[in-house]
């Protein structure tokens, strides 16, 4: 490459090598000149330079010291580049999060950004993972991740990206997802913990899972459990919410969910 930077295999790096894809991502994000954008893993800055053209402020988090130096040289004062791991560095306030996310930590990063108050997010992730994020009930891909993220966000698959658009070419294709936070939906840790419990045994009836999981002092009557004879993979987010609300009527069950 002309600038003398090559991907580090130990960091799982692949660089986007298609300007048209970057243009499509920025256009889809709908960023305004009043918004602060947080970019995760800017790499060579293909996406970053375009974000600087539309946003009020751009903050990019990059773990590779070589790329931090390159980005500072490339962008100057147009963006702030933070050197660190996006999973642990202190996150600034932001309106929109974007990034071509490392496949190994993509889901953890999206959850962390959600916890930080992300209003909108546009991410390129592994296609297989994207299918799990947007999956509906009654599909093999429907998972805890889908049930949790779809509760807080409307998630749209914008387009797929073949592996030939990267250097070096990964073994898998990617997809670009757009997240928009739903109005009036507050964080509910008990819901997330209940979803984790129920999806850990997704092929079992939910009443059967709770029969083995609830504390002995629980007074819940499992015969009255909403959807107790069904599997969690068959339930919508709203239906799972009803199950969690029912569990929280019992002090012992509530304590279990709050202390997991």
Q: What is the pLDDT of residues 161-198, one digit of tens each?
A: 987 777 666 778 999 999 999 999 999 999 999 999 99
The answer as to CATH 3.40.50.150 being correct for domain 9-181 is: yes
**Residue 167 or 241, more confident:** 241
Question: Cα separation of 86 and 101, whole Å?
Answer: 10
> What pLDDT is stored for residue 2 in this prediction?
47
Domain locations along the chain: 9-181, 189-259
For 48-108, list the strands marked E by DSSP. 57-62, 80-83, 96-100
Where does residue 122 fall: left (phi above 0), alpha (psi -120 to 50 degrees), or beta otherwise? beta
Tens digits of residue pLDDT in 2-22? 455 555 555 556 777 788 999
Q: Which residues neighbour 184 within 8 Å (Cβ) at sequence distance 6 or greater?
A: none
């Amino acid at each position: 490459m002309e600038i003398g930077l090559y991907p580090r295999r130990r960091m799982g790096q692949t660089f986007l090598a298609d300007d048209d894809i970057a243009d499509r991502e920025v256009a889809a994000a709908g960023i305004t000149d009043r918004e602060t954008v947080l970019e995760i893993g800017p790499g060579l800055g293909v996406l970053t330079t375009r974000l600087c053209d539309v946003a009020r402020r751009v903050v990019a988090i990059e773990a590779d010291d070589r790329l931090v130096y390159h980005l500072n040289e490339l962008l100057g004062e147009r963006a702030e580049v933070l050197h660190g791991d996006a999973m642990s560095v202190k996150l600034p306030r932001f309106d929109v999060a974007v990034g071509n996310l490392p496949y190994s930590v993509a889901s953890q990063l999206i959850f962390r950004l959600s916890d930080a108050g992300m209003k909108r997010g546009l991410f390129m992730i592994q296609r297989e993972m994207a299918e799990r994020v947007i999956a509906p009930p009654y599909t093999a891909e429907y998972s805890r991740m889908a049930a949790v993220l779809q509760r807080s966000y409307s998630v749209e698959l914008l387009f797929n990206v073949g592996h030939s658009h990267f250097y070096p070419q990964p073994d898998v294709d990617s997809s670009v997802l757009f997240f928009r936070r739903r109005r009036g939906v507050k964080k509910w840790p008990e819901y997330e913990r209940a979803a984790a419990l129920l999806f850990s045994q997704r092929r079992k009836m939910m009443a059967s899972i709770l029969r083995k999981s609830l504390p002995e002092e629980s007074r819940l009557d499992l015969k009255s459990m909403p959807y107790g004879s069904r599997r969690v993979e068959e339930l919508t987010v709203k239906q799972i919410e009803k199950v969690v609300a029912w569990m929280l009527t019992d002090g012992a069950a509530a304590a279990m969910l709050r202390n997991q």
